[in-house]
Amino acid sequence: MRILVTGATGVIGTETVGTLRAAEAPPHVLVRTARRATDAGIVPWPLGRGPGPAELGGHWDVIVHTAASTRWTMTRAQALAANVEPLRAVLALAGRDTHLVHVSTAYVAGERVAAGSEFDGYRNGYEWSKAVCEEVVREEHRGPLTIVRPPLVVGRRRDGGIARFSGPYTLLHALVSGLAAVVVGDPDGYAEISPVDEVAQAITRAALSAPPTASRTEIVAAGPASLRLATLIDVTCAALNAFRATHGAPPIARPPIVPPDAWTRFFLPLADRHLSPFQAEAVKLLAMFQSYTSMAAPFTPTCPVRDPASAMTTAVHHWAARKPRLALADPRPWTLRT
C-alpha cells in the first residue's frame, strides 16, 4: 500500500505518522508544508504554490491530508490561501481509486454564532475554511473519501506528549501568567477535547481499512461524557497546582467564569477602556475560546473519547514538565490604567 501523508510534522500529522509506523504501514512519502525539510524522508512542498515535487508522482493508494493552518485570526483571503488552495493541490495527486482521508474539524458541524457574519456564522477563518474544504473535497474528489473531524486536541493519553503546544495550551500559559483574570464562557457548556493519539488512531483505522463505497465521516469526541467548562477549568487548575505543590510554588487561583453575554455587554467595554493594550489583546485571545467551551450540546461521536478529564490532567502535567519556568511562574495581578 502506497501512502502519502501531508502536514507530516504538524500536531496531528506527527502522531499519525507514528501510529502508521507502529501498525507496520509506514507512509511511503511524507510532506512538510514548507520550502525546506531537514528530516530524512520528508519532502518539502509549500502546498498550493507550484507543482508537486517529482517524489510525489505515481499512483497513491491512500492520501492522508492533515496539513492545515489552524490560526484563528486569518482573514477569508488568508484562510483560502492557507487551507483551500493547498487542498486542491493535494487533490491533483489523487486518482479515481485513491482513498482520501481528509482531516477537518468537528466544529464545522457545531452551532453557528452569527448568520451573515464575515465567516458565514463560523467562529473564525480557520473553521470557515475547513467547512469550505469539506465542500470542495466532496465535489471534486472522485475516489473513496473519509473525513475525520477532531475537536480541540491535547497530548497523548498515556504520557501527554504532543508535537507542539498550541490551541488549548494557550489557556495554561494564561492561567500561570495571570493573563486569565477571567474565563469567558458558559460554565455548563460542553468543552470537547481529545488526546492526539486517539485522533491519530481514528485516522490510521480509516487509512488502513477497506475504502468506503460512499463518503464516510468519523467524529472524534466524548459526546455526553465531555467536560463542562467549569469542570475543565477545575481539572486544569488542579493539575497545575499539583505540579506547583511538588516544586514548592503557591497555588494559582481558579479564575471566575463570565457568561459570554455579560462579557460582551458589560466587561468588554470596560476592558477596552481600562486595560493596557497587552492585557486587552490577551483578553480578546482568550475570549475566542468561548464558543468552543460554551456548546449547548455535545457532538455525536463515531470514535468516542473516554474520560477526557484524565486526558486533560496528563496533558497539563506533560506541559508543566516541559515548561517548568512557565508552570511555576508567579501570576501577575492585573492593574487598571489611570
pLDDT computed for residue 113 by the predictor? 61
**What ranges in the chain are assigned the alpha helix state H?**
11-22, 76-79, 85-91, 125-140, 169-177, 196-208, 229-246, 260-262, 268-274, 277-287, 308-322, 324-327
Given a cut of 90, whether residue 266 has pLDDT beyond it is no
pLDDT computed for residue 246 by the predictor? 97
pLDDT computed for residue 111 by the predictor? 64
| Shared domain check, 180 and 41 | no
| Shared domain check, 175 and 91 | no
> Would you say 308 and 203 are in contact if contact means Cβ atoms under 8 Å apart?
no
Q: Which residue has the higher pLDDT, 312 or 338?
A: 312
Tell me the Ramachandran region of residue 137: left when phi exceeds 0, alpha when psi lies from -120 to 50, beta otherwise: alpha
| Shared domain check, 178 and 103 | no
Residue 327 lies in a domain: yes
Q: Please report, for the domain that includes residue 116, its CATH number.
A: 3.40.50.720
pLDDT computed for residue 180 by the predictor? 73
Residue 215 lies in a domain: no
Residue 133 lies in a domain: yes
| Shared domain check, 167 and 129 | no
* CA pair distance 238, 313, nearest whole angstrom: 8
* CA pair distance 223, 40, nearest whole angstrom: 39
| Shared domain check, 270 and 238 | yes
pLDDT computed for residue 80 by the predictor? 94
pLDDT computed for residue 76 by the predictor? 92
| Shared domain check, 240 and 138 | no
| Shared domain check, 171 and 85 | no
What percent of the chain lies above the pLDDT cut of 90?
Answer: 61
Helix axes 196-208, 11-22, angle to 10 degrees: 60
Number of domains in the chain: 2
CA distances from 299 to 5, 109, 255 (A): 27, 8, 27
Q: Which of 126, 149, 172 is the last residue of a domain?
A: 149
Q: Give mean pLDDT, residues 233-239.
A: 96
Q: Which of 149, 183, 201 is the last residue of a domain?
A: 149
pLDDT computed for residue 234 by the predictor? 96
Residue 31 lies in a domain: yes
| Shared domain check, 288 and 184 | yes
| Shared domain check, 277 and 166 | yes
| Shared domain check, 60 and 35 | yes
| Shared domain check, 81 and 26 | yes
CA distances from 182 to 27, 116, 248, 250 (A): 44, 29, 25, 19
Q: Give the structural domain span for 236.
A: 161-192+225-296+307-338
Residue 301 lies in a domain: no
| Shared domain check, 97 and 30 | yes
Given a cut of 70, whether residue 337 has pLDDT beyond it is no
Residue 206 lies in a domain: no
Residue 213 lies in a domain: no
Given a cut of 60, whether residue 145 has pLDDT beyond it is yes
Q: Which of 87, 119, 149 is the last residue of a domain?
A: 149
pLDDT tens, position by position, 114-136: 555 778 878 788 999 999 999 99
pLDDT tens, position by position, 57-77: 899 999 999 999 988 889 999
Q: Give mean pLDDT, residues 174-183.
A: 80
Given a cut of 70, whether residue 37 has pLDDT beyond it is no
Residue 220 lies in a domain: no
